[in-house]
Chain A
């Protein structure tokens, strides 16, 4: 049994490394670079509690008198703080590591949430047509009538109203995921619906329908793969948007609690210090965010081209 499993694993591994996917990956230097960078950022975020020099969320360990210390290589730098400290005396490096952790978690979770919701509804809408389509698209319009930021504000506000005060802090991140996730599904749905409407009239789908394949099967096996290109474009960009929406929500004062800042909150706080010369408070988190989003996007670009059989 165990030998069999091991064999299978080896077989899978061999197949993966022999695949076109792996080949096209290794061929594109910029993609490899992006993957390495993304992996470093994501891994260091995941292991932040173990690799960060300090715990930036432990208020009793930070000292206000350490605040606004520049990075170690500048004049007045302090060897304890490699990238300097922020306006409260938090170690920037630790804050960035822990902040990325929150941002990445919020970003990925809300994109998955949007994607599943949007793709499902889009397929249903495009394939079923008629009343179902009209209903879903009207909901989409209602939602589109509000800027994503506002939807997030609304959900955040309603949650604040519903949740008891001492739960709010713990659930702040989940509320954000829900808020950003719900605010983003429409794009997927519109795009999938558009492709579905085109695809479903093509001969191969009609043929499949004629020979009695279940509509669900047709949608998943035949229509969805064809809509995958645009979905990936949107998903990669949406990951960036999700992280940035989180930052913008913080900019408007409703994000995560300021005592446990995300990457976006750090940028927002640092933003106030851009003119005054304490650039490290905003530039380091900003650069981390930009690098992370950039590499994720580059990976998305490559993935889209590589997974599209027509482009090979």
Chain B
């Protein structure tokens, strides 16, 4: 009797499950832009990789809290400091039915480093990738590298046979003169398949029945529409035309929350927004101070730092959707970030520092700012200009669209005196920040995005040690020392980590990841 009852209950449960899967759960969502293409090695950019992360998978993946989880690799071990062994998951199929194995990993390691790939940083060219057997692969590095796999959640594994059959062995390239099949079609191992795509208009996803993992979502179809205009995107969410939309402009959060049936999910993002000075040139490009560079004087940099009222920016410009930061990396990504405190807002001190440095009446300086790149970037710059005006510095603000802005400030020109920029370390690790932003500029090497050439050889030395140190505590200590030097020398003015604001319908539950990637396999629709 009991057995029968259980049987009936099971059958009922099965029926309910069937009924549930039978009725369609369509997720309609909107982002401000579209993925550039479907080739997983085409562009190293958050949204493109995030969208493809629903379709393709890497050896590892990141959980809702960005913790590293096994994905296509079941487990891995470090045989020796320079040899990592990855045991691949068995029974995994690509969307076209092909089986996933070691050949696909070796192939993908070659393709991601081929000409035309924008993700060459995922695996250094010196790393050897060796197939051990059909489901085991070794990675041999020239030196120890404790963070070898940290960026592999977005190194997606492609099907060797499929790319060969469709002549897409090389990554999509503009100069090839033809379309690359992989840029318009997809064949991953992930939970969703792309069934229809019209660039910049819509992309339609369907769940992949043969996915190796147990789905946590109940989506039966998902439609992504890019909506560029902020107001239109918010309107689409408010009127129920989409179930999820991001980003929501900070000033509209209240409106979305007040609207019946919609709310905003907030959280800190990993990107750090900061101000940089030109400390490399002997004379600033855009200033009325001639014959010397005021930013070479630490007191001037300190004066600027003390003049910035970060709490006012947080409250008024960012509407509390920002976390003021004392260092150049998100506290989520660095264990000792608690040791640092921002230099206080103190306009009086700023003014006296400035007159100590010989600029009692202030000076003029040009400032570069993007106006469509970061959350309220232009407003932050205007606010900073106002704060600096109060200590006598006259800022000539040039706020431009990102295409013009990057052309001006990035290398090789580095055509800027004072600028606002944002940075997310792709590896989720401090070494990336030190190497790119804080080390002295070297041709073809470190300091590529150190636009103002802040330079301290001790920090460079620490950076080199950090790269090969495998002991986590010692490593973090060295990173902290490097950040401390920068902090004491006022090398940059870190402002804040901007916040995430995802608008969603109350019908939808989802996980918000701090890297701003939207993973549809955490979505449930009521």
A residues in contact (CB < 8 Å) with B? 58-60, 62-65, 67-68, 87-89, 165-166, 168-169, 253, 257-259, 271-278
Contact = CB atoms under 8 A, between A and B. Distances in A.
A59 B395 CA distance: 9
B144 interface: no
Contacts of A272: 230-231, 249, 251
A272 B252 CA distance: 8
Q: Chain A's interface: helix, strand, loop or mixed, by majority?
A: loop
A65 B316 contact: yes
Nearest to B379: A87
Given A64-B387, A272-B249, A275-B234, 8 more contacts: A59-B385, A62-B386, A253-B371, A253-B399, A259-B382, A273-B251, A276-B252, A277-B255
A261 to B, nearest CB: 10
A40 to B, nearest CB: 30
Contacts of A166: 286, 366, 396
Closest 9 CB pairs of A and B: A60-B389, A59-B389, A276-B251, A59-B386, A64-B312, A275-B255, A67-B316, A60-B390, A64-B316
Nearest to A87: B379
A258 B382 contact: yes
Contacts of A259: 382, 385, 397
Nearest to B381: A258
12 contacts: A59-B386, A64-B383, A68-B316, A87-B316, A87-B317, A87-B379, A88-B382, A89-B316, A257-B397, A259-B382, A275-B255, A276-B249
B118 interface: no
Contact of A258 (B312, B372, B390, B399): B399
B378 interface: yes
Q: Which of B254, B316, B399 has the most CB of A within 10 A?
A: B316
Contact of B400 (A89, A253, A274): A253
Contacts of B253: 276
Contacts of B130: none
A64 B378 contact: no
B390 A276 contact: no
A116 B410 CA distance: 43
Q: Which of A168, A259, A271 has the most CB of B within 10 A?
A: A259
B229 to A, nearest CB: 10
A154 to B, nearest CB: 14
Contacts of A278: 251
B309 interface: yes
A238 to B, nearest CB: 27
A169 B367 CA distance: 12
Interface string B270-313: 00000000000000011000000000000000000000010011
B125 interface: no
A60 B400 contact: no
Contacts of A65: 312, 315-316
Contacts of B231: 271-272, 274-275
Contacts of B396: 166, 169
B358 interface: no
B401 interface: yes
Contacts of B230: 272
A27 B439 CA distance: 77
A277 B286 contact: no
B374 to A, nearest CB: 14
Nearest to A68: B316
A170 to B, nearest CB: 10
A58 B394 CA distance: 10
Contacts of B366: 165-166
Interface in B212-258: 230-231, 234-235, 238, 249, 251-255
Nearest to A260: B397
Contacts of B382: 88, 258-259
B286 A165 contact: yes
A231 B17 CA distance: 72
Nearest to B400: A253
A59 B251 CA distance: 23
A88 B386 contact: yes
Nearest to A65: B312
A100 B38 CA distance: 48
A33 B230 CA distance: 38
Contacts of B386: 59-60, 62-64, 88-89
B252 A275 contact: yes
A67 B379 CA distance: 12
A160 to B, nearest CB: 9
Contacts of B286: 165-166
A165 B231 CA distance: 33
A169 B383 CA distance: 18
Nearest to B402: A253
B342 to A, nearest CB: 17
A136 to B, nearest CB: 34
A239 B119 CA distance: 51
Contacts of B316: 64-65, 67-68, 87, 89
Q: Which of A63, A258, A278 has the most CB of B within 10 A?
A: A258
B254 A276 contact: yes
A107 B238 CA distance: 37
A256 to B, nearest CB: 11
Contacts of B249: 272, 276
B397 A258 contact: yes
B287 to A, nearest CB: 9
Nearest to A278: B251
Interface in B66-111: none
Contacts of A277: 254-255
B378 A258 contact: yes
A275 B238 CA distance: 10
B400 A64 contact: no
A8 B372 CA distance: 61
B284 to A, nearest CB: 11
Nearest to A259: B397
Interface in B379-423: 379, 382-383, 385-387, 389-390, 392, 395-401
B251 A88 contact: no
Contacts of A276: 249, 251-255
Contacts of A168: 398
A64 B317 contact: yes
Contacts of A258: 378, 382, 397, 399
